[in-house]
Structure 1
Amino acid sequence: MTNLRTADSAPADLDGDLASLRGDCARMTPRWSAPAHVATRPVPVSLLHGVRVPQTSAELLEAMSDYGD
């Protein structure tokens, strides 16, 4: 059997909304490290060819009622 215990005392909300997702992210941010500042410059329009999304990601979003309906 899988151990579903986590280090956080908050229960997992599998049917949560955006607010619960933001709360989960806020609790995880201390574990993330920020990358070093990288200077960016504009990309020439000639290099932009659209956005490509992996099929599995597209199917995942399609299955979510907020995006697929």
Structure 2
Amino acid sequence: MTNLKVHGSAPLDLEGGLASLRGDCARMVPHWTAPDRSTPHPVSPSLIHGVTVPPTSARLLDAMSDYGD
């Protein structure tokens, strides 16, 4: 379901082109916030155990020509 409620004085333009889309985005910029950047923490090799694939998934991938033929 599409919510067509408009808050503010901007006209609703459902058939607009790229210029209309860019205008809509420019009006939304003050509402968007970017999260602070975080640096990933190193993971100890003892915590890395590899990947476990269920046998049914392994058979499915083995039967696909893109994955191993």
TM-score of the superposed pair, with normalisation by structure 2: 0.43
Larger Rg: 2
TM-score of the superposed pair, with normalisation by structure 1: 0.43
